[in-house]
């Protein structure tokens, strides 16, 4: 199997008065959004349990993951990695200025398991190029080393619980002995 990518020629403008430049912009082609029912049906088929049992397990796992993650835990997703909640917030110099309004966004942080990253790295990529008129002009198959981005900068993560504090602002808090 290969990942399908389309590169469409688009006019890129950097200001309203700029004439712009034509560039090929790449984006993954999504086949379709799989429904929860289809995923449950396939998992039941592969595991040999009934769809009803698989549905009950799926729902229960979802509730447990949601409950534990919102309590601050990094939760393992078997075969996939871990997920946890984080946030992005403004910094202040004075403790008296700390308040909830400093929080800009809340986010879900997913850290893929090494096995999943290796699978993605070894999957070929097929790029189909389309000109500005929508005509296919070229097709390319990857020969790159398949490097996988690691937004947390931890190339040693083997899927362990990597909870902790991520301020989301590009820095790591080092003066927090309790890990809060």
Q: Say if residue 57 is exposed, middle or buried (CB neighbours under 10 Å; 0-12, 13-18, 19+).
A: middle
137-157 pLDDT per residue, tens: 999 998 777 888 877 665 443
Count Cα atoms within 13 angstroms, Cβ side, for 135. Answer: 2
**113 CB neighbour count, 10 Å cutoff:** 19
Residue 100 reports pLDDT greater than 90: yes
40-71 pLDDT per residue, tens: 999 999 999 999 999 999 999 999 999 999 99
- Paired strand residues for 130: 8, 136
Q: How is residue 41 written in tokens? A: 């049906």
Q: How far apart are CA 111 and CA 80, in angstroms?
A: 8
Q: pTM higher than 0.75, yes or no?
A: no
Place of tokens 């088929």: 45
4-48 pLDDT per residue, tens: 999 999 999 988 888 899 999 999 987 788 899 999 999 999 999
Helices (H), 10-113: 36-47, 51-70
Mean pLDDT of the chain: 84
With beta carbons less than 8 A apart as the criterion, state whether 131 and 154 touch. Answer: no
Domains of the chain: 2-12+20-141 (4.10.520.10)
In a 3-state reduction of DSSP, which class is residue 107? Answer: strand
């Amino acid at each position: 199997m290969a990942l399908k990518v389309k590169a469409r020629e688009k006019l890129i403008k950097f200001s309203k008065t700029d004439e712009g430049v034509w560039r090929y912009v790449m984006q993954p082609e999504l086949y379709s959004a799989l429904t929860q029912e289809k995923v449950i049906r396939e998992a039941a088929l592969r595991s040999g349990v009934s769809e009803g049992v698989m549905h009950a397990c799926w729902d229960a796992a979802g509730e447990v993951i949601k409950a534990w993650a919102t309590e601050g835990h990094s939760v393992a997703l078997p075969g996939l990695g871990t997920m946890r909640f984080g946030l992005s917030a403004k910094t202040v110099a004075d403790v008296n200025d700390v308040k909830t309004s400093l929080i800009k966004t809340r986010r879900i942080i997913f850290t893929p398991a090494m096995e999943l990253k290796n699978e993605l790295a070894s999957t070929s990529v097929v790029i189909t190029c389309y000109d500005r008129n929508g005509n296919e002009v070229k097709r390319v198959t990857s020969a790159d080393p398949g490097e996988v981005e690691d937004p947390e900068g931890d190339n040693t993560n083997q899927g362990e619980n990597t909870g902790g504090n991520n301020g989301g602002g590009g820095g790591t808090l080092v003066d927090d002995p309790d890990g809060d």
